[in-house]
């Protein structure tokens, strides 16, 4: 299969995170069977690298219990504060080149990633990356952009178009653009990115988050970025809407913890799915389980026909026929029968 001309062994990709910040981490994901691996983001800002010194992570259960990383469980959400890779660009390019060489025979491309600071600087970094990686991801949806001055989250069409165009002009390999989920019209952002030269669009970045600890403070002691299984329908909303409106390859992210979740992304219109938090919880072995589960389900099915298959029969509200009985009736009946 391919995504925007990028050959990949399967649609289960590993997204950019601290887990892909070292050569060992990159190789572990490749060896575990990932279809592609997105390396940890970099940019030109020393402040963005220093922010990694205050990185912290809290896993939150469905009933609000907070657990440290070593005690995380599969259904937990992740609230974190993060920064960018603390590496010299030349050294990082060498790391990327080594990982690319490991992944190429397995059809596991390794993508370089840039979290936007200054567009002109991102273009310079992208040009250097394009000499060693088969594709570059430009992340303009980083949730930390609302809190950290060293990175930016773009939520307006003009800003997206300008940033993508600037990097596109400098990069001669496929350009993947990752967008935020918290914007008035994410489809409009995707259209702007495509028009400015994006070869594929990633939907969607994690959401800003905040959680009081009820002991006089906040979990992590600050705001952060949030992802959980509960984010899945929200991410699939924008993937399905973009699939319906645009002709652009989509990469889904934010909410996939299992093979079934990956399949839901594909059925909503994504051609590949980036996973991160599932690896924080279960380690690289999670990748193999997801790949096997997806392959088993898709065996005998046409991949291209499956992509977006759930969208074809989905109707606008105005097109939905009245139900035989009001769906709300059983709920209100319980109140009536209790004498309220």
CB 272 within 8 Å of CB 37: no
Burial annotation 188-223 (CB, 10 A radius, 16+ → b, else e): ebbbbbbebbbbbbbbbbbbbbebeeeeeeebbeeb
- Looking at residue 324, its pLDDT comes to 87
- Binning pLDDT at 50, 70 and 90, where does residue 214 land? confident
Does the structure show a pLDDT above 90 at 292?
yes
Does the structure show a pLDDT above 80 at 49?
yes
- Binning pLDDT at 50, 70 and 90, where does residue 330 land? confident
Task: Considering the domain delimited by 2-337, tell me its CATH architecture.
Answer: Alpha-Beta Barrel (3.20)
Does the structure show a pLDDT above 80 at 178?
yes
Q: How far apart are CA 116 and CA 118, in angstroms?
A: 6
Q: How far apart are CA 85 and CA 177, in angstroms?
A: 19
Q: List the domain boundaries for the chain.
A: 2-337
Answer whether 0.85 is exceeded by the pTM.
Answer: yes
Contacts of 5 (CB under 8 A, 6+ apart): 174, 199
Q: How far apart are CA 140 and CA 146, in angstroms?
A: 11
Q: How far apart are CA 173 and CA 100, in angstroms?
A: 14
From 231, 254, 246, select the one nearest 311 (Cα to Cα): 246
- Looking at residue 83, its pLDDT comes to 83
């Amino acid at each position: 299969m391919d995504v925007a001309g990028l050959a990949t062994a399967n649609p289960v990709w590993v997204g950019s995170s601290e887990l892909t910040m070292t050569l060992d981490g990159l190789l572990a994901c490749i060896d575990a069977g990932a279809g592609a691996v997105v390396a940890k983001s970099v940019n030109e800002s020393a402040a963005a690298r220093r922010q990694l010194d205050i990185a912290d992570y809290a896993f939150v259960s469905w009933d609000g219990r907070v657990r440290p990383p070593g005690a995380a469980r599969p259904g937990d959400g992740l609230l974190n504060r993060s920064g960018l890779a603390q590496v010299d660009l030349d050294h990082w390019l060498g790391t990327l080149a080594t990982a690319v060489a490991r992944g190429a025979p397995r059809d596991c491309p390794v993508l370089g990633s840039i979290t936007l600071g200054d567009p002109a600087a991102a273009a310079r970094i992208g040009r250097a990356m394009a000499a060693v990686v088969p594709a570059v991801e430009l992340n303009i949806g980083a949730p930390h952009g609302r809190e950290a001055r060293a990175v930016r989250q773009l939520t307006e069409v003009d800003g997206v178009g300008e940033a993508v165009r600037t990097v596109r002009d400098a990069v001669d390999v496929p350009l993947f653009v990752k967008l935020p989920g918290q914007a008035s019209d994410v489809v409009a952002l995707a259209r702007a990115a495509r028009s400015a030269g994006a070869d594929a669009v990633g939907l969607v970045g994690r959401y800003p988050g905040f959680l009081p600890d009820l002991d006089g403070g906040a979990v992590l002691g600050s705001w952060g970025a949030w992802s959980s299984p509960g984010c899945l329908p929200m991410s699939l909303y924008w993937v399905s809407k973009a699939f319906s409106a645009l002709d652009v390859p989509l990469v889904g992210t934010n909410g996939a913890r299992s093979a079934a979740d990956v399949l839901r992304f594909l059925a909503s219109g994504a051609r590949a799915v980036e996973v991160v938090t599932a690896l924080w919880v279960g380690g690289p072995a999670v990748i193999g389980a997801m790949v096997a589960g997806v392959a088993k389900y898709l065996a005998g099915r046409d991949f291209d026909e499956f992509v977006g298959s759930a969208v074809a029969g989905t109707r606008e509200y105005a097109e939905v026929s009245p139900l035989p009985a009001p769906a709300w009736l059983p709920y209100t009946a319980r109140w009536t029968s209790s004498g309220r």
